[in-house]
Structure 1
């Protein structure tokens, strides 16, 4: 793998590692929108929305889904192609610190969403760090993927009649089993 391949991966991961860009990806899953429409929906300036859209397009996270004439100019409409997630793996494995940047952005976005949670409505929150057999793990991953695809495919433009404003965040991965450095758990030295 060349050095440029690794940089491209880091660039794409860092492009998404921003709370506003995460909101844009969610928004553009339901419908193609122009920078002006994104700005209005997310209460951003047009310049700020355009900047974040460019970052996501450059990282190959958004596609141009068409153009329309508006007051003598041409406005591009952008879409998040959720259906190709996982189909375009990037070379290399992002550095752990780049993954942490992404997780921090997701954490900030979850905090914002939790503050908008509708009280007295059904919800599901879950957290586990544990040990399960491979068959259970494979089934759980398949269910998480199915739920994610179901919601992505059913996502509609904001405030569409008959829809609910919902949030789903899922992070599932197999762990190394190596204790964190700096904790009192496990051996003092771990060889690589």
Structure 2
């Protein structure tokens, strides 16, 4: 495994934890200190600090600013949502750990689901490669739109949402280069062409 692959594995392992997934979601909309994260998630300051350090050490968080507080320095972290966490070069066990952590986080969110619009889908099917590539582009676009438009919790005229996607090729059909796709970079043919 080369250095790039090892970096992806390290990032994946660091994010495969339900509290860290919540922190990443929280810090998508605004930069926060450990104390603010602790209050927002109902965890101890020490626990928040630990998880923030773990995420920062693997490059998932950036320090947006620092401020002096009572003789110390409080860092305000923000999540860099432009990185794809679930890298397909990571070992299967690590991707499964990430999927389990994500499933626990989705379950927590479902317990807090409000009334309103939504969508849920589960599918295992065989589709033309063009349809697969177009679907990946749409999923990628939707994910980046939601991350880019995220606002601080409680912002007026916003809706509190949950969006989780997992899409991957399976064995038995086209694989490797024949099915490889980089959403947003490769151009999917228009439907119906």
TM-score (structure 2 length as normaliser): 0.83
Whole-Å separation in 2 of the counterparts to 1:128 and 1:25: 27
Gap runs ≥5 in structure 2: 174-193
- Report how many residues are paired: 173
Partner of 2:94: 98
- In structure 2, the residue matched to 1:114 is 110
Give distance in 2, aligned partners of 1:39 and 1:52.
10
Residue 122 of structure 1 deviates from its aligned partner by 1.1
- Once residues 147 and 164 of structure 2 are traced to their aligned partners in structure 1, the CA distance between those partners, rounded to angstroms, is 12
Any runs of at least 4 consecutive aligned residues in structure 1 with deviations exceeding 4 A, and if so which?
4-7
Partner of 1:175: 170
Q: What is the alpha-carbon distance in structure 1 between the residues aligned to residue 4 and residue 163 of structure 2?
A: 31
Q: Distance in 1 between matches of 2:119 and 2:109?
A: 14
Tell me by how many angstroms 1:69 deviates: 1.7
Counterparts of 2:89 and 2:117, CA distance in 1? 37
1:67 aligns with 66
1:57-98 deviation digits (Å, cap 9, x = unpaired):
111111111101222321001011113x24x998x9211111
Equivalent residues of 2:34, 2:75 under 8 A apart:
yes
Question: If you compute each CA radius of gyration, which structure gives the higher value, 1 or 2?
Answer: 1
| Alpha-carbon separation, structure 1, partners of 2:45 and 2:10 | 23
1:161 aligns to 2:156 (yes or no): yes
Deviation of residue 11 (structure 1)?
A: 2.1
Match of 2:139 in 1: 144
Output one character per residue of 1:101-154: Cα deviation in whole Å (capped at 9) or x when no partner. 0000000000000111113x1110101000111111111111101110110000
Q: Tell me the TM-score normalised to structure 1 length.
A: 0.84
| Residues in 1 aligned to 2:15 and 2:122: alpha-carbon distance in whole angstroms | 23
RMSD over aligned Cα atoms:
2.0
Kindly tell me: are residues 55 and 154 of structure 1, through their superposed partners in 2, closer, same or farther at Cα, counting changes over 3 Å?
same
Gapped regions of structure 1 (runs ≥ 5): 179-192
**1:13 aligned partner:** 12
State how far apart, in whole Å, the 1-side matches of 2:111 and 2:58 are.
Answer: 30
Instruction: Find out whether 1:58 has 2:49 as its counterpart.
Output: no
Tell me the CA shift for residue 7 of structure 1: 4.3
Deviation at 1:6? Answer: 5.0
